[in-house]
Structure 1
């Protein structure tokens, strides 16, 4: 199938590289492939993704409506007539829907409010003690559901979701069910809001019309209860798990009508059915973001978390953040099907770590101790009402908590910095081997234990506040962490994973020991999405190095189905200078490997480079360091007076200096930096690769005329966690090589190479993210200095994005040449 519009309905005249991007993406979707798309920030990547994907979607729908849907098979006249009648009926339904949505848009333009009577509020503001008692729990039967919050839905919830589905058409098939959909994901709701703003720019002809009439793009943003709950008495709860469980608790059979959530529609009310249908229509009548959907729910006094599902069958585009796609339980709770969809993941350079983060969990010793304290307090209060299985399972949870606490206390006494351990080393003691973690997880989920224990703690806080003298009420006390039992539930889930997929670690933070489960195999949790979807697109500004994707996420894919593309920048090559720096002005070499980076001579030489470049580089300059600790070491030495004045004083005389730290407020820091540049003096920002300023921050134009990247930010290769990850990577490569018929020595050599490649790729992806902060649009320009001898090697330069590799100056370059190139680059480039 060829695109119906050679410019893919782009709202502007697209650049050549944008056209190439859209052509390749359209082809990738049509062929049902997995595509890795690298396109630098500032090249209109989001619009290109939207235009190509939606053009394909409408073309595919037109093909299914009017094309050769029968594959060339000649049908008899009766079957042909039936097919035409069905198509006509479907087109009539689509037109009726479009007319209805246009009426809603016209009403919204006139600012007319929806006229639906509000329900009378029912839920008491106070927590009631009798609501906190656990129901009898007598079932040991396994359930075909996950136990992570939304996965196990009550029968009343399932009935509600069934009722919220839109009415079927006369032929028994929902008119939207035949539609292929696009699921668009990014890391955060704020990034998705930017996508929604771009989506509003697009106009597309209707697939159901030959006249070129436009048809609105039908889009719905989806979120969790945390994002969409409009019941203030539920939304204010301390943790996501507590919100989920309280919501489900209010829907249970037997809960009196006076204590059900006022925003959930009644199953028997025709008026509520009308409101649900109206909500779905209003949700897709215009392109809206998650805040708009929540506001619509508030205006209609209707739960947007559940009611938004009524719009899904009619939508073309769903937007949701990473975790809601990556967790099967979350998708099922939202009613999202990935089968035969087109999945687009933006900012996908984070995908592997996002999968690992979503399914990894850490919990400090103090949280284990607090969870035990909360559970014991609850048991003491309700001990006479805990019977049967409740008593048995709570006793098992207490036993497992105590086992974890004992192991962590031992590590704290032994002053262990870091160690890895197996699950059976963590959970040990009399009777522990008889505990079945999957049954405990099901019990915690089904009994709503977390909500009831946390709510009992909130009740105690309310009572304590009510007894305080009026003058002290509302005064703050030290806040205890919330959601500790939910953390423990996640740890129990990790215990159920195969040992080959992840590993437990005990390490120490600034104050105490922490138990952490780290997922090592992200592929196992993404493969089912790839296999079910029609096509999967991973897009980002810095997807290089590309080799990681086939090694870590797609080893099972046929080579011809995995496509990788790296597109150039829209800027002229003359607008970017990339200079590796192996030596400084005095000839001191730059070798920032861990064992040498504390060299005072090298650090002062670095200061000399920054000072001399500050004389030539106009406006803003950013220096990225490999870690916060190293940045602190460098600045402490620069502040040492070595002559008439310190290095830091000399630099500050040229540019006002700002420094990133873990504690600093980013908005305040950037505001001061921007104001200093605006004043005409210029500014220098000292930042950290992988820190707050290295990703998602725009240093365009005067904010980033030069970027220096000091050293290579390799992870701590001595940490137990890093060693486990590298060993996993090496094992995967070894097994693949073995299957390929290589000898034992060749397999081992290939595995070692894979370990080194992985370390290089992780490091350079972080570097690429940092140095990509400066070039943000076609007219932008910046100089990039890579300060370390290793940047002069072909191995490292090969891992730069293609558009930057083209501009790398040959090295090693003498300082006089570096200085002259810098002056020449900025000469005449004032904006």
Structure 2
């Protein structure tokens, strides 16, 4: 809210009076709001205290249970609405607020530049001009941690203080609580038991939208959906949501207590909030922002865990389908078309036939790949998928529009679901544990209909199936609309190094003077960290874990002997990260063999003489939680443990090995992605071509610059993964640990410069003739001083 004063040419006493009057009006309004929130907080405290005094578990809010069996729904609801071809190129559909869904990222970026000039969107009269902070992270658990920290702080009033009236005016002492709101998806916030039971997010979204259709009977609509008559209940929800700092689970409970959908009720709370937390997909996806009616225009966006921001954006806009899914979709569509043959009229009949032809064409191409001998993966041209009979006559833009507006996938999936309920023995190839197949196929067809220059197609053989993947190689344009709208964008993370990719690629269009980079040391004192590179083992072998050399059994045996020695001097828990699951398996097989001249002793036996050995597996025989629990119990028992993990695996991100759980971290080798893979070949080629086009100078200079950019991008991807693993240890100011990077390449300045600054400051390289012995002495002294 903005204070508005008379013009500057008014008398000074009138200006001062207007300032005080405006300030009082604002303060009184906020004081009334704060009083409402304070009352709600007191009520919540009383309920919480009462629950704490009860011996029995809290009684849950009564929620209507699903009825035992419902009558088969009328098949008319599965018939497609008439589709008028005359409207195909007019206004967008009701669910499409921009009319630009399905366009390529480059087209969207161009249209976005004119958004401010062309927009006729109405502004909410109640919307104030307070700058909001949108805090985004990868998972709800990380957002819950942030909410917990918010509960510990308080801020002064935002109402301007009048020094002259501070002692006289009690409004000067107005205390304002933090207005925080947690946003989530329907899957996180749905309280309708029938819909929530679907579990899959796509199925939940579609079922929720189905229940809101105009043709649905009143008694079958969602009873929790807010209506125009629920204004008082919405205000009550708002007050409860803002009375205290709540995480996503708390917001869901408020909705349950008030019997109102927290997903939709949260939208009206956004304009009253100051700090809004939300997971990546809700911020980074345009359709998700529009669904929440969320705008970052002139607000501050903070993205935590930003080391994986580019991968997250690419992941959101990439999609994979399999030959088996395509065949299932053809079966479902064909059965649907036959069932409603007489009721499919006009354009519906034509477009359904086009969809079947297109999916058949894609499936035929994958079928051909599956029957041929060749590499396990490779590139696919868009034209190869559109070579089926009659496919070249399809207008891709019109078909994409039809898929979005006709609700074809929803109608077909609804009919398949209904048919299985009425005739459970006659399955129509439907899996309840996955995304409804036609929705998945549609999400693949949309980018296929309008491919962007930064997207590529690849195939991959997976056991007895073939997958087709559309991959977004460059996230720049999809993030650009956020950057250009927001007042400020802050990327934050503990292990974002190396940072050159952000300025070179993600923000390549931003003038250098608008970019600021800040790097801070760790919260721990330097005496709590020992960092060491190690180029040779106890037995003298050079540690060269390049793809060509890492199979040496002699080196692998020396690695095991060196790790066994280090485990004798590092107390409690040690975590070692390997480049891949395959290499970890290879190492374990060598360690299980008797050591030469070791009287039958194995390397694993040497390690387990001091620490219990556990390892991560690609198979799901042992869950991550079970593995971590076994590791924790071994450490807490005093026997210690060595946990072998994989870079990019289940334990390399999001897991905190604090205190005794992570006194030592070993990084074995450098986890470079497979540069021979089709995906990485395409990524590097795209970076090189983009850098070449943007470069200056002679052709040879531009080629050299482009080649260096591709190499740098490839190395940066590897080192970000390394830095994430390093960051698993040392989680608070009193924590301490040893970080040991085992590979000769860690001694090179080029690699060392891409480590976090707090590691570089403590790093000692393998400069002595016997680096392993020197490392053992240094680490032994470090832990002796800590004991």
| Structure 1 stretches lacking a partner, 5+ long | 1-60, 154-171, 469-476
- Matches of 1:601 and 1:254, distance apart in 2: 72
Of 138, 160, 164, 1:187 maps to: 138
**Paired residue for 2:615?**
659
Could you tell me how far apart the structure 1 residues matched to 2:160 and 2:603 are? 70
Residue of structure 2 in register with 1:377 after alignment: 335
| Alignment partners' CA distance in 2, 1:125 and 1:766 | 51
The reply to whether residue 256 of structure 1 matches residue 211 of structure 2 is no
Deviations 1:641-693 (A, max 9, x none): 23412111221222110000122311111111111112222111111011111
The residue number in structure 2 matching 1:265 is 226
CA contact 2:31–2:174 (8 Å) conserved in 1? no
Change (3 A) 1:87 1:209: closer
SS at match of 1:537: strand
SS for the counterpart of 1:563 is coil
- What is aligned with 2:727? 772
SS of the equivalent of 1:708 reads: strand
Secondary structure in structure 2 of the residue aligned to 1:540: coil
Contact 1:242–1:454 (8 Å) recurs in 2: no
Aligned to 2:26: 90
Structure 2 CA distance for aligned equivalents of residues 537 and 275 of structure 1: 36
> Aligned residue pairs: how many?
730
Match of 2:112 in 1: none
Q: For 2:341, what is the secondary structure of its paired residue?
A: coil
Pairwise CA distance, 1:452: 2.5
Instruction: Return the alpha-carbon distance in structure 2 between the equivalents of residues 764 and 414 of structure 1.
Output: 37
User: After the TM superposition, which of the residue ranges 709-718 and 189-198 deviates more from structure 2?
Assistant: 189-198
Structure-1 residue corresponding to 2:506: 553
Q: Counterparts in 2 of 1:554-633, with a 5 A limit?
A: 554-633=507-586
Separation (CA, whole Å) in 2 of partners of 1:466 and 1:729: 52
Match of 1:821 among 774, 778, 783: 778
Tell me which moved more, 213-222 or 86-95: 86-95
Contact kept, 8 Å, 1:715 with 1:722, in 2: the verdict is yes
Q: Tell me if structure 2 keeps the 8 A contact 1:504–1:517.
A: yes
Asked whether the equivalents of residues 132 and 274 of structure 2 are also in contact (C-alpha less than 8 Å), the reply is yes
In the TM superposition, what are the counterparts of 1:163-242 in structure 2 within 5 Å? Answer: 174=125, 176-208=127-159, 210=161, 211-237=172-198, 239-242=200-203
Query: Could you tell me how far apart the structure 2 residues matched to 1:774 and 1:744 are?
Result: 46
Partner of 2:80: 134
Report what 2:706 is aligned to.
Answer: 751
1:345-404 deviations in whole A, cap 9, x for unaligned? Answer: 011111000000000111111111112122222223332322222222111111111011
Q: Distance in 2 between matches of 1:290 and 1:144?
A: 36
Deviation of the 1:212 alpha carbon: 4.2
Query: TM (normalized to structure 2)?
Result: 0.87
Task: Please state how far the C-alpha of 1:480 moved relative to its aligned partner.
Answer: 6.6
RMSD over aligned Cα, in angstroms? 2.8
Offset of 1:83 from its aligned partner? 7.3
Q: What is the match of residue 260 of structure 2?
A: 302
Output aligned runs, 1:94-173, within 5 Å: 94-111=30-47, 125=70, 128-130=73-75, 131-139=77-85, 140-142=87-89
Structure 1 residues 127 and 440: CA distance shift in structure 2, 3 A: farther
Q: Deviations over 1:53-90 (max 9, x none)?
A: xxxxxxxx7xx549xx89x9555788987777655443
Q: Is the 8 A contact 1:242 1:451 kept in 2?
A: no
SS in 2 for 1:241: helix
Determine the C-alpha separation between the residues in 1 that align with 2:90 and 2:554.
65
Q: Is the 8 A contact 2:200 2:434 kept in 1?
A: no
Structure 2 residue aligned with 1:169: none
Secondary structure of 1:518's counterpart equals strand
Report if aligned partners of 1:151, 1:329 keep a CA contact under 8 Å in 2: no
Give the distance between the partners of 1:566 and 1:127, measured in 2 at CA: 62
1:441-520 to 2 correspondences below 5 Å: 441-465=400-424, 481-520=434-473
SS of equivalent to 1:780: coil
Comparing 206-215 and 273-282, the one that deviates more? 206-215
Larger relative contact order (Cα-Cα within 8 Å, sequence gap ≥ 6):
1
Bigger shift: residues 763-772 or 812-821 = 812-821
2:764 match: secondary structure: coil
Counterpart Cα distance in 1 of 2:453 and 2:78: 39
Cα deviation digits, residues 494-527 of structure 1 (max 9, x gap):
2244442110111122332110011011001001
Structure 2, gaps ≥5 residues long: 51-60, 101-122, 162-171
Normalised to the residue count of structure 1, the TM-score between the two structures is 0.83
Q: Give the CA deviation at 1:276.
A: 1.8
Shift of 1:221: 1.3
| Distance apart, 1:229 and its partner CA | 2.0
Distance verdict in 2 for CA 1:127–1:630, change over 3 Å: farther
